[in-house]
Structure 1
Amino acid sequence: MKFTSFSSKLGMLALAGSLLASCAEKTEIAKDQITPEAIAKIQALGFSSANVQRDGDAYIVEGDIRLTDRDLAAAYSNGKLLRVGSEEQYRTTNLVKAPRVVTISLSNKMPASYAAVVDEVVRRYNAENLTLTFSRVASGGNIVLTTANGSYLASAGFPTSAGAPYNQVNVNTRAIGTNPNVNYAATIIAHEVGHCIGFRHTDYMDRSYSCGGSTSNEGASTVGAILVPGTPAAADPNSWMLACIGSGQNRYFNANDRTALNYLY
């Protein structure tokens, strides 16, 4: 998820600006270089190719979504057109098999203060009476929060083809804080859990709506950007799945978010 200041358009989860790295040795530059082939595959998967970051063995796209080389390998094998719409709720092709309990835990690298954040995330989802029930566990959760660095606040991926949630949320505790405001941090983590269970950004087709910058039309997709019936065709400035967020903002699920959650789960 991206961060935006209140002086710009508000939106969801990543820090303002892109992370620029310089190095004196050409070999070190090459190691983190993102090839034109990778950019083309990211576009073919239906994601913005603007400000793509390399983060270990993954690429961070759209501010907070993690894609691996395995994800990119499917880019040209099963392309299909995205529906290009307005700011509505969208889901991926893969969803979590329900009913089930989705457990969330903290890695041993996470500050203990994030237990209260996870509890708030669990409370928010469970208040919607979905077929997915959420629970914090001491360790070994279906979704594990772990620490990360970068120019994003947090990042996650999408459900597996077997119907399991994505298993990790990477949290930039230096940016959010080691003892954060619970509602602000819970808004960020609830957004990432949304990705883990199959939600794309509400403004995937034009992230400038919440992040500012230029308009981006993402083209074709294999992971899916499927409109959730009953969600609005007009702009939705308060959705929990917008791509960028203002500092300290607290977003509960709004009426359209609840429609989307209840339709899927």
Structure 2
Amino acid sequence: MKTIFYLTSLAIGSVLYACQPTPVETAQPAARQEVPTTVKAKVRAMGFSTYNIQTVDDGYIVENDIFLDKKQLDLAQRKQAIRVGSGEQYHTTSLVNNLPRVIRISVANNLPQVYVDATIEAINRYNAQNLSLQFAYVRSGGDIRVLAAPANAPYLASAGFPSGGNPHNFVRVNNAFLGSTNDATRVAYIGSIMAHEFGHCIGFRHTDYMDRSYSCGGASPQDEGEPPIGAIQIPGTPAGPDPNSWMLACIGNNVNRPFNANDITALDYLY
């Protein structure tokens, strides 16, 4: 059986067993802090699952790779629910606006070269689609910064959703888990992870948000929730599960997951 990683958080213990699903955004075993019930209630009200919710220094990681800062949780009581279908590509109620525009992305200097190469790989995948939203690599600053995750971070990579019409401004990657090997296979694999996280930054939800067991394994469905952040079906994408979408919650180790035809339809519809 192949190892599966959640494109979000995961415990390293799971990674050591090839037949166990493991989140593609998680790593070292860190002491798990108990999340207050009041916080969980706000997370549910925002439309996210509280399953395996994790506390980080500046907020919380939900659905294994989606970052919510504490201020965002205060929005939970002020938005309306949006109901949707159950198997297509999805976007949130928050998107990037003021199109056309260029989103600049930088990679922290303390990350190995493979993360620069993988970021450029992801950028090239988006730009090849000739969207109204283009991406550009810059050496520092920018609209999205790719940063190293904190020591002992319980996830492999994480990102948030747009705010105020702008993309979420950072992606964190756990280079201690993903490593520094720099070859074509690793660049394609980490590039797929980066493209997934950039997808969150511009407003995409997991393709299998309604049942993460589809890509992550497990006997029972894990519905990530809908309101009010939204899980809005994108017209023209399939009514059933899509086994190759770049926005599936989990991915196999060293798997290259470029955009498939349905992903391209979704990107072209939104941008």
| TM-score calculated relative to the size of structure 1 | 0.88
Q: Give RMSD over aligned pairs.
A: 2.1
Match of 2:162 in 1: 159
Deviation track 1:142-175 (CA, whole Å, cap 9, x = no partner) reads: 11000004232110001112x1111100000011
* Counterpart position of 1:131: 132
- CA offsets per residue over residues 37-82 of structure 1, 9 Å max, x none? 1111111111111000011111000110000111111112223143
Shift in CA distance, 105/250, structure 1 to aligned 2, threshold 3 Å: same
Distance 2:225 2:118 in 1: 36
1:212 to 213, 217, 223: 217
Aligned partner of residue 95 in structure 1, secondary structure: coil
Unaligned runs of 5+ in 2: 1-6
Q: Does 1:186 align with 2:188?
A: no
Distance in 2 of aligned mates of 1:204 and 1:119: 27
How far is 1:215 from its partner?
1.2
The secondary structure found in structure 1 opposite 2:214 is helix
Secondary structure at 2:247 match in 1: coil
Moved over 6 A (4+): 3-6
CA distance, structure 2, for counterparts of residue 258 and residue 65 of structure 1? 22
Q: State whether residues 79 and 220 of structure 1, in contact with CA within 8 Å, keep that contact through their aligned partners in structure 2.
A: no
| Equivalenced residues, count | 252
Letter of the structure 1 residue corresponding to residue 34 of structure 2: Q
- Kindly, what percent of the aligned residue pairs are identical? 50
Report how far residue 13 of structure 1 moved: 3.0
In structure 2, the residue matched to 1:175 is: 177
The equivalent of 2:50 in structure 1 is 49
Q: Which moved more, 1:121-130 or 1:215-224?
A: 215-224
Cα contact 2:82–2:231 (8 A) shared by 1: no
What amino acid is aligned across from residue 200 of structure 2 in structure 1?
Answer: H
Greater CA drift, 230-239 or 104-113? 104-113
2:255 aligned to 218, 229, 249, which one?
A: 249
In the alignment, what sits opposite 1:79? 80
Residue 146 of structure 2: SS of its match in structure 1? strand
Contact 1:6–1:246, Cα closer than 8 Å, also in 2: no
Distance in 2 (alpha carbons) for counterparts of 1:50 and 1:263: 31
- Preserved contact between residue 14 and residue 63 of structure 1 (Cα < 8 Å): yes
Report the 3-state secondary structure (helix = DSSP H, G, I; strand = E; otherwise coil) of the residue aligned with 1:75: helix
- Partners of 1:220 and 1:44 in 2: how far apart? 9
Q: Deviations over 1:94-121 (max 9, x none)?
A: 2112210111101222223322111111
Q: Is 1:221 paired with 2:250? A: no
User: Does the residue aligned with 1:193 lie in a helix, a strand or coil?
Assistant: helix
The answer (yes or no) to whether the contact 1:82–1:219 under 8 Å persists in 2 is no
Structure 2-normalised TM-score?
A: 0.86
Report the Cα distance in structure 1 between the residues aligned to 2:225 and 2:139, rounded to whole angstroms. Answer: 41
Is 1:12–1:241's contact at 8 Å kept on the other side of the alignment? no
Report the alpha carbon displacement of residue 216 of structure 1 after superposing the two structures with TM.
2.4
Cα distance change of structure 1 residues 148 and 15 upon mapping to structure 2, 3 Å threshold: closer
Question: What do the CA deviations read for 1:107-141 (whole angstroms, capped 9, x no partner)?
Answer: 22222332211111111111111111111011111
Cα distance in structure 2, aligned partners of 1:8 and 1:130: 37
